[in-house]
Amino acid sequence: MALSVRPLTVHIGAEVHGVDLRDPSDTEIKEIEDLLLEHLVVFFRDQQLEPAHQVALGRRFGELHLHSVADTVQDHPELIVLENDERRPPNIDAWHTDVTMDLEPPMGSILRAVDVPVVGGDTIWASMYAAYDALGPSVQAMCRELTAVHHYPDYFRTGILRQPDGYAKLERYDRDHPPVEHPVVRRHPVTGRYGLFVNSTFTKYIKGMGRKEGAALLEMLNDHIATRPEFHVRFKWEPGSVAFWDNRCTQHYAVADYFPQHRLMHRVTIAGDRPVG
């Protein structure tokens, strides 16, 4: 392998060196794909990407996913803007897998640091393989038989209502984005490994379970994911840093410890397929 790879933990995360993401070769793209499957999230430093480069890079890995709510870069509707400062406090400091409210959630995302705070603003990723593997056999077996309902979070609703003609837009959004069902345990379509596929942001309830029992199970699973550092890798951003994660088997958390400093990130998201158990 031509690329230099430094694993960051046993379960998740690796830094990759020796590639210019502005124009990677087909061989390098295949190596990155393989590393993503092995490490779940891969990190690159000192990348001089412009928006067009980042969009083109995303397309090397598949069709791009268009977010239904997020702000985007002018002339690049595929490129999401994540910007926070004293006027725009962070609001995504919660564990989540991206857009599981979709029937076919994204395969992965490529996030680039444009401007980072002097201190703070890290992102943490968690391995859903490791989280599943750490459950007892009886809990694993139970979860493999369950289905969860996913829908959009409250901050989506708030953002839509702030727009001109917000109530009419929210009515249309509700119609176009009904709740969807996904297995509680997802089988990865490439590796075949099992991983938990619930999260505290988009997962609303367990289908077929009583309200109290389902809520207790979701709380247990979400706490299990969030409170076990053995499942996690934490990345400190620098200008030009890039992270590429597999959305099918990870969750992530944007740490909101930098307010009111400025933080600007650009994200391109790659379309995925329908989860199966």
Axis-axis angle for helices 154-161, 166-176 (nearest 10): 140
- Identify the active-site residue in 11, 39, 65, 96: 96
- In a 3-state reduction of DSSP, which class is residue 150? strand
DSSP string, 190-255: TT--EEE---TTTEEEETTS-HHHHHHHHHHHHHHHHT-GGGEEEE---TT-EEEEETTSEEEEE-
Helix (H) or strand (E) holding 179: none
Asked if 71 is an active-site residue, the reply is no
Asked if 96 is an active-site residue, the reply is yes
Angle at 182 (CA atoms; ends 176, 188), nearest 5 degrees? 120
Burial 173-182 (b: 16+ CB within 10 A, else e): beeebeebeb
Angle at 125 (CA atoms; ends 23, 261), nearest 5 degrees? 80
Asked if 267 is an active-site residue, the reply is yes
Nearest to 19 by CA among 54, 53, 44, 51: 44
Nearest to 218 by CA among 271, 139, 163, 141: 139
- Identify the active-site residue in 11, 39, 98, 232: 98
Asked if 98 is an active-site residue, the reply is yes
- Identify the active-site residue in 39, 65, 186, 252: 252
112, two tokens: 């680039």
Catalytically annotated residues: 96, 98, 252, 267
